[in-house]
Amino acid sequence: MEQHKRRKHYSGKYPKRFDEKYKELNPEKYKDIAEHVIAKGNTPAGSHISIMVKEILDFLEIQPGQQGLDCTFGYGGHSEKMLEQLKGEGFLVSLDVDPIESEKSRQRLEKLGYGEDILHVERTNFANIDRVVEKYGAFDFILADLGVSSMQIDNPERGFSYKTEGPLDLRLDPTSGVSAAQRLKELDEDDLIGLFVENSDEPYAEKIAKTLVSFQKAGRAIETTSDFRHVIERALAGEKMSEKERKEAVKKSCARCFQALRIDVNQEFEVLYELLEKLPGALKPGGKVAILTFHSGEDRLVKKSFKQFEKEGIYQAVARDVTRPSMEECRRNPRATSTKMRWAVKA
């Protein structure tokens, strides 16, 4: 018999820590709480709100009997909607490198009736899409949502957000590679400047890199999210601006620098480049692919690849401009604001 576990108690009227939000973390049982949180423009703890679902489905035009690929399984929201379109015929393959969240999502969808007969979850990076094709064959439709899932961002133990205290990790797969804290120890000042500029266009890259190196030389290790945030705060302390302006500048630099470090730790540009190069071989003739990007570096890579393959006659059509989420969606889910969707159709 499974032993009953008491929930954690918290001070005050409402829980503040991620692990105290037991109702949000159990949306199946407390649906009214989850809906209340979403209505306020927030994402319930431990879950994720899928972005641009209607726009994706309108473009892909999924038909029963087709076979599809979700390159970024995450919470499984997009996979669930694509499976609905298949109506029990054909199958969907969903990829993810995160062993923690992908298993939770697989179990969640299995409870909804999507078992191994129609949903195949593979723990692999989408850079290995060619190996996936060897196993399942080419696909009628492919989706790649390049954003980090809210479950990862909001969980302090994963170290993705400067807003909460936690280990400076930032790995999508915490069982592989080196953490962000370790990565910072391996880079010199010039490397750090390049990382912050190339990965996030950080305007204070030099000052932040210089401050970071001086901290490390003084024996002050950067091991947690607050350690890294403190470096950024110190780097901008001498800037001539009002206190209000400085707080806003620090906030934006934290967001950019955490993003830049996450991109580096997970080699996100490198794996995206591999995906884009291998995509044509993963699509059937007439097959469709949609990609959601969240910053200019990703969008530039996708745009360049799609245009080049169209010029070579490999794609018969590509998006001339990006599709963006509606104002209503951005109001309901602020994390959708920076999203851009591009698409291509195989010749």
Question: What is the rounded distance in angstroms from the CA atom of residue 164 to the CA atom of residue 152?
Answer: 12
Residue 39 lies in a domain: no
Chain-centre distance for alpha carbon 156: 16
Q: What is the DSSP letter of 75?
A: T
197 has a pLDDT exceeding 50: yes
Q: Are 108 and 59 within one domain? A: yes
Amino acid 209: pLDDT: 96
Amino acid 98: pLDDT: 82
Using an 8 Å Cβ cutoff, are 191 and 197 in contact?
no
Q: Are 282 and 259 within one domain? A: no
Residue 339 lies in a domain: yes
Q: Are 294 and 253 within one domain? A: no
| Alpha-carbon dihedral 170, 154, 209, 238, rounded to 10 degrees | -170
159 has a pLDDT exceeding 70: no
Using an 8 Å Cβ cutoff, are 297 and 269 in contact?
yes
In the predicted model, what is the mean pLDDT of residues 230-243?
Answer: 90
Q: Are 274 and 260 within one domain? A: no
Q: Are 249 and 280 within one domain? A: no
Using an 8 Å Cβ cutoff, are 322 and 299 in contact?
yes
Q: Are 307 and 339 within one domain? A: yes
Which of 39-43, 226-230, 257-261 bottoms out in mean pLDDT, i.e. has the lowest?
39-43
Residue 255 lies in a domain: yes
Which residues 6+ apart lie within 8 Å of 46 measured at CB? 18, 21, 24, 25, 27, 151, 154, 155
Question: What is the rounded distance in angstroms from the CA atom of residue 7 to the CA atom of residue 19?
Answer: 9
Distance spanning both ends of the chain, measured CA to CA: 58
Of residues 105 and 153, more confidently modeled:
105
337 has a pLDDT exceeding 50: yes
Q: Are 236 and 257 within one domain? A: yes
pLDDT tens-digit map of 2-20:
454 555 555 555 555 444 4
Closest C-alpha to 141, from 51, 67, 65, 53:
67
Residue 28 lies in a domain: no
Average pLDDT, the chain: 86
- pLDDT band at residue 24 under the 50/70/90 scheme: very low
Q: The domain spanning residue 102 has which CATH number? A: 3.40.50.150
Which of 52-66, 100-114, 178-192 bottoms out in mean pLDDT, i.e. has the lowest?
100-114
Amino acid 75: pLDDT: 84
The DSSP-derived string for 222-279 is --BHHHHHHHHHHHTTTSSS-HHHHHHHHHHHHHHHHHHHHHHHTTHHHHHHHHHHHH
Residue 2 lies in a domain: no
Query: Which two structure tokens, joined as six digits, stand for 334?
Result: 């602020």
Query: Which two structure tokens, joined as six digits, stand for 167?
Result: 């280990």
Chain-centre distance for alpha carbon 322: 19
Question: What is the rounded distance in angstroms from the CA atom of residue 325 to the CA atom of residue 320?
Answer: 16
Residue 220 lies in a domain: yes
Find which of 35-39, 112-116, 133-137 is predicted with most confidence, using mean pLDDT: 133-137
In the predicted model, what is the mean pLDDT of residues 150-178?
Answer: 78
Q: Are 281 and 293 within one domain? A: yes
Residue 29 lies in a domain: no
44 has a pLDDT exceeding 60: no
Question: Of 242, 265, 288, which residue is a domain's last?
Answer: 265
Residue 239 lies in a domain: yes
Question: Of 233, 265, 297, which residue is a domain's last?
Answer: 265
In the predicted model, what is the mean pLDDT of residues 78-95?
Answer: 95
- Tell me how many domains the chain contains: 2
Q: Are 117 and 185 within one domain? A: no
Amino acid 113: pLDDT: 92
Question: Of 265, 281, 301, which residue is a domain's last?
Answer: 265
Q: Are 145 and 60 within one domain? A: yes
Which residues 6+ apart lie within 8 Å of 186 measured at CB? 178
Amino acid 240: pLDDT: 86
Q: Are 258 and 273 within one domain? A: no
| Alpha-carbon dihedral 16, 21, 24, 26, rounded to 10 degrees | 170
Element (H, E) at 346: strand 340-346
Q: Are 260 and 188 within one domain? A: yes
Q: How far is CA 36 from CA 21, 33, 295, in A?
A: 13, 5, 29
Residue 301: which domain range?
53-150+269-346
Which of 129-133, 153-157, 306-310 bottoms out in mean pLDDT, i.e. has the lowest?
153-157
Using an 8 Å Cβ cutoff, are 88 and 157 in contact?
no
